[in-house]
């Protein structure tokens, strides 16, 4: 018998206390390997749609659900505890580029349902290691903090209310489809993230069962800052009010360059810390050359240094990368959550702390 959602959430918290949890890896790199055509993306439902769809990976939820299910399966089979829904760009804002705003609910609901079905099958087969589904909520392709027009710094291509409503629609569908937690990920603009947090939290006012929230930012380059300019500690201070299940960083950097930022977050965050880096930096052809054993070695060092509670992979990582990561962190004690003194903690681009 499948676990209820409340039982799954309890199992998730229990597992996080017992071991370092493992997230899946890249979806994009695996989908690229399928060499799909425009017709694959369109399927029957969108055969006559008036926008090109090739590259709209989220759409495969509706047109090639077999591929989506097989990728969940591939990552669970190599040791992943958590797999993300294939919904990184499944908001009305992002899908607007493909003319598919009307398909957004279906994308998220079906994405969650497929992930749930595969996870439950693995949990039934291996009840000692329950599998979980994270509802992936990406940053959208619009930013609230920065102008896209260098000649008009005050211009915004989208409003806060529009971003909030887009996230709320996505979160409802993911919840309806059966996810165990929300993963607000690849955050480059903290204001976008705040809109997502509010959207998720406001579901409770409509009678939705509260789910754990995992927030993962991205440090865009060697400056050690998000695109909207915040340091790791400032980012944490800005979103700590959400009381997230976990906080961390993903994408943009490989493990070697991400380490100092994960170490800083590990020092200040009084919750679980996650990290899922790229397979190194892309080469001149945009490909990722870091081998699975190399990524696994970096993350093993993080784990043994007590920096992380959840690990996985982002761009360029494959099931083989995740297998090496899972093998390397198996049996390693998860990071102890620090008790921090009460203080006034604020942030702009830099953190501010006033301890009484």
The CATH number given to whatever domain includes residue 302 is: 3.20.20.330
Q: Binding site for Zn(2+): what residues are annotated? A: 251, 314-315
Apex CA 75: angle with CA 139 and CA 272, to 5°? 55
**Phi and psi angles of residue 12, each rounded to the nearest 5 degrees, phi first:** -65, -45
**Phi and psi angles of residue 245, each rounded to the nearest 5 degrees, phi first:** -60, -40
Number of helical H runs and strand E runs in the chain: 13, 10
**Residue of 91, 83, 88 whose CA lies nearest to 117:** 83
pLDDT of the residue at 149: 86
Whole-number Å distance between alpha carbons of 120 and 160: 36
pLDDT in tens, 246-296: 999 999 899 999 999 999 999 999 999 999 999 999 898 889 999 999 999
pLDDT of the residue at 221: 83
Compute the residue count for the chain.
Answer: 356
* Strand 272-278, strand 213-217: pairing: unpaired
Strands (E), the chain: 21-22, 82-84, 132-137, 181-187, 213-217, 246-254, 272-278, 310-311, 343-347, 351-355
Q: Binding site: what residues are annotated? A: 251, 314-315
Look up the domain containing 330 and give its range: 5-355
Contact 139, 90 (CB under 8 A): no
- Tokens read off for 189: 């603009």
pLDDT of the residue at 286: 87
pLDDT of the residue at 64: 98
**Residue of 267, 309, 319, 348 whose CA lies nearest to 80:** 319
87: exposed, middle or buried (C-beta count within 10 Å: 0-12, 13-18, 19+)? buried
pLDDT of the residue at 217: 98
**Phi and psi angles of residue 232, each rounded to the nearest 5 degrees, phi first:** -60, -45
How far the first Cα of the chain sits from its last, in Å, is 52
Give average pLDDT by consecutive 10-residue segment, the chain, 356 residues.
93 98 97 97 96 97 98 98 98 97 98 98 97 98 91 92 98 98 97 98 97 97 90 97 98 94 97 97 91 97 98 98 98 96 93 88
In the block, tokens 């018998």 appear at 1
DSSP secondary structure letter of residue 69: H
**Residue of 244, 329, 240 whose CA lies nearest to 19:** 329
- Tokens read off for 148: 């896209």
pLDDT of the residue at 1: 73
Contact 118, 61 (CB under 8 A): no
**Residue of 136, 138, 135 whose CA lies nearest to 5:** 135
The total domain count for the chain is: 1
pLDDT of the residue at 202: 98
Contact 189, 145 (CB under 8 A): yes
pLDDT of the residue at 285: 87
38: exposed, middle or buried (C-beta count within 10 Å: 0-12, 13-18, 19+)? exposed
pTM of the model: 0.96
**Residue of 28, 253, 215, 249 whose CA lies nearest to 137:** 215
């Amino acid at each position: 018998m499948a676990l209820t959602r409340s039982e799954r959430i309890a199992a998730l918290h229990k597992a996080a206390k017992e071991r370092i949890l493992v997230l899946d890896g890249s979806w994009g790199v695996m989908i690229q390997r399928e060499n799909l055509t425009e017709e694959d993306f369109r399927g029957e439902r969108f055969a006559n749609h008036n926008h090109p769809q090739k590259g709209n990976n989220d759409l495969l939820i509706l047109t090639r659900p077999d591929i989506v299910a097989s990728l969940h399966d591939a990552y669970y089979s190599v040791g992943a505890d958590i797999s993300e829904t294939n919904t990184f760009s499944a908001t009305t804002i992002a899908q607007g580029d493909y003319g598919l705003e009307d398909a957004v609910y279906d994308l998220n609901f079906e994405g969650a349902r497929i992930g749930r079905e595969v996870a439950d099958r693995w949990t039934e087969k291996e009840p000692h290691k329950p599998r979980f589904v994270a509802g992936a909520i990406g940053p959208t392709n619009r930013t609230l903090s920065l102008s896209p027009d260098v000649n008009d710094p005050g211009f915004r291509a989208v409003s806060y209310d529009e971003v909030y409503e887009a996230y709320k629609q996505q979160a409802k569908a993911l919840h309806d489809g059966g996810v165990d937690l929300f993963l607000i990920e690849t955050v480059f603009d903290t204001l976008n993230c705040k809109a997502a947090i509010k959207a998720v939290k406001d579901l409770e006012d409509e009678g939705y069962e509260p789910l754990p929230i995992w927030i993962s930012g991205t440090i865009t380059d060697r400056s050690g800052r998000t695109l909207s300019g915040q340091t790791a500690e400032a980012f944490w201070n800005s979103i700590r009010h959400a009381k997230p299940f976990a906080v961390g960083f993903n994408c943009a950097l490989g493990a070697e360059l991400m380490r100092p930022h994960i170490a800083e977050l590990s020092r200040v965050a009084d919750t679980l810390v996650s990290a899922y880096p790229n397979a190194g930096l892309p080469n001149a052809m945009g490909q990722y050359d870091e081998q699975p054993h190399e990524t696994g070695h970096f993350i093993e060092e993080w784990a043994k240094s007590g920096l992380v509670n959840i690990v996985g992979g982002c761009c360029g990582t494959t099931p083989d990368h995740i297998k090496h990561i899972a093998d390397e962190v198996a049996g390693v004690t998860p990071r102890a959550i620090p008790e921090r003194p009460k203080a006034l903690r604020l942030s702009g681009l830099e953190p501010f702390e006033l301890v009484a």
